[in-house]
Amino acid sequence: MSKPLIALAFLAAAAATPSVAAPQTSAAARVSYADLDLARPADRKILDRRVTRAAEKLCPPLVPTGQLTRSVEAVRCLAAAKASAQLQRSRAIASATTSNLAADSR
């Protein structure tokens, strides 16, 4: 049996000078939720934290060393990473909710 996973994939813009187009690089991570019951709101929050942690590992730091403000590239990267997982997250929750409703009606 395969373990439920959410693939986190997105394009992250590499740092470049304003006059040069930034090359696109891709990154990916897998986030397991095999141990979670996504019909429960508390477990959905755990999944969301896992997705955020995976995105943070793939993206540049929000506040680069020596700076006081968040990097625009890092904020965009995190938003893109979370958005890339959203459809899979929604499907997984719908599946868990449907499975629980079916089990409850028996």
Angle between helices 72-104 and 41-58 (to 10 degrees): 150
Q: Are strands 5-13 and 24-32 parallel, antiparallel or unpaired?
A: antiparallel
Model confidence pLDDT, tens digit, residues 17-40: 333 444 456 778 889 999 999 999
pTM: 0.70
Query: Which residues touch 51 (CB under 8 Å, ≥6 apart)?
Result: 6, 8, 31, 81, 82, 85, 89
Model confidence pLDDT, tens digit, residues 24-83: 567 788 899 999 999 999 999 999 999 999 988 888 887 777 777 778 888 888 888 888
